[in-house]
Amino acid sequence: MEMHTPFRRALQIQLRVIGALLMREILTRYGRHNIGFMWLFVEPMTFTLGITALWSMVKVTHGTSLPITEFALTGYSTVLLWRNAVNRCNLAIAPNLGLLFHRNVRVIDLFAARLLLEFTGATISFIVLSLVFIAIGWAIPPKDIIKIFEAWGLLMWYAVGLGLIVGSLSERSETVDRVWHTITYLIFPLSGAAFMVDWLPKSAQTLVLLLPMVHGVEMLREGYFGGTFRFHYNVAYFATINLVLLFVGLALAREAGRRVEPE
């Protein structure tokens, strides 16, 4: 007679599995030398800080009175959140095939560990940089923290669905890896990091708002700047796209697991 593991016990097991994979990923990627796992959030902090400093030094201005520091922080932090997470899911299965011989390790666990790691790094980077910039007077405090976290959550949801899709497809063919990197370069200037939708002509606004991540960036910036500027986003549209991506991603991850996981 087949015995079924109770849901609570199964959940505890999977959480321990993901935790172990998370620690393995940290040690494999960052090692124990120098600052070790601190690179998890120092790396995205360095990138965002570099962009902010560069824009400030050359006196780049957008709009009439847009604060460059807050603009760069809210833009490039969101790009690092979803792009790095999806990139880490890309080709994540092949290097870890040996782990799948453990009975409780599944393909979805490999993706979950990498996604959690990237989300943690990007989130710590965003929070620490915000606090530092506010403390030294380079930035003003955000107007609506709740809306910022809502937008951040929607962007993470987007990264989960897209990461599962790209990660699962990359197991089938290495061509997916090359195509995805090309797509990221093309999408980056359209992601909303370096512009606000209201600056664009009406026809261009309609087109750029087809990209889901733009809604997340606009929503996050509204949470930071408040009603100072005009923002364009649709939460229902973004959430619907995220839901579709998640369902497709889970289906592809399940199919990938059937093909690579030992019987």
What pLDDT is stored for residue 44 in this prediction?
73
**What is the rounded CA–CA span in Å between residue 172 and residue 159?**
20
Residue 2 lies in a domain: no
Please indicate, yes or no, whether the overall pTM of this predicted structure exceeds 0.85.
yes
Range of the domain at 193: 7-260
Phi/psi of residue 185, nearest 5 degrees: -65, -35
Nearest to 63 by CA among 225, 234, 188: 225
> What pLDDT shows up at residue 14?
82
Query: In Å, how far from its chain's centre is CA 216?
Result: 11
How many residues are listed for the chain in this entry? 263
User: pLDDT at position 4, please?
Assistant: 58
Q: What are phi and psi of 29, to 5 degrees?
A: -80, -40
Q: Look at residue 16 and tell me if it is in a domain.
A: yes
Inside any domain, residue 21: yes
**Tens-level pLDDT at each residue, the chain (263 residues):** 344 567 777 778 888 988 888 888 877 877 665 555 666 677 777 877 777 777 666 555 544 467 888 888 899 899 989 999 999 999 898 888 888 888 888 899 999 999 999 999 899 889 988 998 899 888 889 999 999 999 999 999 999 999 999 999 998 888 888 899 899 988 988 999 889 999 999 999 999 999 999 999 999 999 999 988 999 999 999 999 999 999 999 999 999 988 887 76
**What string of DSSP letters covers the chain?**
-PPPPPHHHHHHHHHHHHHHHHHHHHHHHH-SSTTGGGHHHHHHHHHHHHHHHHHHHTT---TTT--HHHHHHHHHHHHHHHHHHHHHHTT-SGGGGGGGGSTT--HHHHHHHHHHHHHHHHHHHHHHHHHHHHHTTSSPPPS-HHHHHHHHHHHHHHHHHHHHHHHHHHHH-THHHHHHHHHHHHHGGGSSSS--GGGS-HHHHHHHTTSHHHHHHHHHHHHHHGGGS-----HHHHHHHHHHHHHHHHHHHHHHHHHHS--
What tokens were used for 136?
């030294």
pLDDT confidence of residue 5: 65
62 domain-assigned: yes
Q: How far apart are CA 206 and CA 201, in angstroms?
A: 9
Per-residue tokens: 51:
């962009």
What amino acid is encoded at 59 in this protein?
K
In this structure, is residue 1 part of a structural domain?
Answer: no
- The tally of domains found in the chain comes to 1
